[in-house]
Amino acid sequence: MEIEELKTIWQQYDSRLDHLEKLNKKLIMETLSKKPQKKLNAMKARSLFSLVLLPFILIFLMSLNFRLENLDFKFVVGSLLIALFIAVMCYLNFKGYMVLKGLDLSKDSIIESAKKVTEFRRLFVTKRKFNLLVFPLFFVGVVLIEWSNLHFHSSILLVMIVISLFSIGIGCLDLKLYKCKIERLEKDIRDLNESIE
C-alpha cells in the first residue's frame, strides 16, 4: 500500500512540476517576445499605412488635375501609369500586411515565426525590385498628368531631375533602413529561440 501511495504522490508532484515548467516557459517566452513584438507591431502599422494612406494621397493629388481641359491622351496615359503603380503597390503591401498580421510571436513556434518573417523578407525584396523598376514609370505618369501646367525650360528640367534623384535616394535609404529592421527582427527571433532552448 505504501508503494502505491508513494507512486500516486510522485505522479502528482511530477504533473505539478511539468505544469510549472510549462508555465515557466510560457512566462519566459512572453517576456522575451515583447521587444520583437513591438518591432513587429511597428512593421504592421507601416504596412497598413502604406496600404491605406499612400493610394489615398496619390489619388487625391491626381484628382486635383481632373478638369475637362486637361483630359487628353497624355493625361489618360499618365493616369493609367499611376493607377497601375498604385494597384501593384497595394497588392504587395496587402500581401506583406497579411503575412505580418498572421505572425504572433507569443503563439507561433519559433520555426513558424522565422518562416513568416522570411516570407515577408521575400515580399520586401520583390517590392524593392518593383520600386526600382517602376518608379521611373510613375514619375513619367506624374509628368504626363502635369504636362499642361509645365513650361519646359532649363530650370524646370533641372528641378525635375533633382526631385527624381532625391526621391530615388530617399526611397533607397528608406528601403535600406527597413531591410535592417527586418534583419533585426529575424535576429531577435533567433535569440528568442536560443533563450528558450
* 51: three-class secondary structure by DSSP: helix
Domain with 134, as residue range(s), is: 42-196
Q: Can you tell me the distance from the alpha carbon of 47 to that of 51, in angstroms, rounded to the nearest whole number?
A: 6
Q: Can you tell me the distance from the alpha carbon of 70 to that of 149, in angstroms, rounded to the nearest whole number?
A: 9
Please give the model's pTM, rounded to 2 decimal places.
Answer: 0.64
Question: Is 3 inside any structural domain?
Answer: no
Say what angle helices 2-32 and 34-63 make with each other, to 10 degrees: 40
Write down how long the chain is. Answer: 197
Q: What residues contact residue 33 under an 8 Å CB cut-off, 6+ apart?
A: 105, 106, 192
Question: Is 91 inside any structural domain?
Answer: yes
Question: Is 75 inside any structural domain?
Answer: yes
Q: What is the pLDDT along the chain (197 residues), one digit of tens a residue?
A: 577 777 888 888 878 878 877 776 666 666 656 777 777 777 788 777 877 777 777 777 667 666 666 677 877 888 888 888 888 888 888 888 888 787 776 677 767 777 777 787 788 777 777 777 777 777 778 777 777 666 667 777 787 778 778 877 877 787 787 778 777 777 777 776 666 55
Q: Can you tell me the distance from the alpha carbon of 46 to that of 101, in angstroms, rounded to the nearest whole number?
A: 12
Number of domains, the chain: 1
Question: Is 37 inside any structural domain?
Answer: no
